[in-house]
Structure 1
């Protein structure tokens, strides 16, 4: 099938691209991600994608970078954690609809996405939005849950020295990811403190035992020193008496 593969970034493209090529598809990558903030981040991810695609002999088409369009469609949901699924769905919809239009206009038969490789995304919503985007154009939605391949994609991207971003893409996700990292850091610190507190009595008892052993050893050494001194004195006294 002549397939347009919507790709969110280079690392997430590795395993989906491999598997779809193995399935026999003729693939072009679509980099259509107006959600990415800031523009410098968008450019860095694009460059990573282009370099990898070139090494594989895969063509890449880039959509217009329109962060305001993303803000109007998805950013309106704001930062409320309860609204995050709706915001992400709107984000998927915007990008997949853009990719579907391009696919229909350029003779592609189907559309797929790399979004479903990430365990941090909403997998059901991705599949639903892909199908909805394809329907008006009679495109085949080629949906696959690639999450099992995420560890391998991570390993390969590290081995290739790829730039690996630490947030999904939008300004909201950047803040959320930073907060989650801080929370995990605080949880690790709390767990460490709790473990140390729980182990404190044992460590105190062990230290007390070591101190007792040191004291006993010191007392033994001092006793031996006194014994050796006394023995030396007795020998010297015997030698003196023998000399008289």
Structure 2
């Protein structure tokens, strides 16, 4: 079964926007750094929190958003970033292995939770198993980040495998380039269900949470951040300070480090 044509077009659009955003930053970054801007490569699910943080940070910040896997590969290939802020420790570990990250300059900054969402007018899910999810999908697709590279998709697949639902539901997946694209498909009514972070659901009034995925069904959701250059130090300090913590908490993240 193919994804519907509108869904196909939306997925293509999100892929184009995501790629264009990274290219635009890579072109602009040398000038940005010359102007003392801090260049941050950050997971797409951090968008709203970082919008608020950069608005109050006493300095210039340029943020490039995307999937953690894409951003990690860009950094590994030499993209001019000062900070890496990812949604998965595996990708940060990979950057360490590539020699792009000093383990002494990274920190597990915030945590998150995984949820199943539906459009805001959808009814509750009484039970969550393969049969009830297939019935709710009714031939449609479940929006989810790419299950081999996008952290939210990787966590989602781990849950579905642990609960014995993956083999049944796998043909119904609409895999997206980042978690915000999965969120948008549900918000726009193009997908009946989606797997996203709790913070994403909180940021989008057109969706509602119909199931909270048990944390023990997947690896802990931890967002590591790392200083890639000396220019990153003040911004990293701000992220870990009281103001940064307050913004993360307001957006539903769980700060994992104590404010100085």
| Structure number with higher strand proportion | 2
| TM > 0.5 fold call | no
The structure with the larger Rg is: 1
Higher RCO (CA-CA < 8 Å; seq separation 6+): 2
Hey, which of these two has a bigger chunk of helix by percent?
Answer: 1
TM-score by length of 1: 0.29
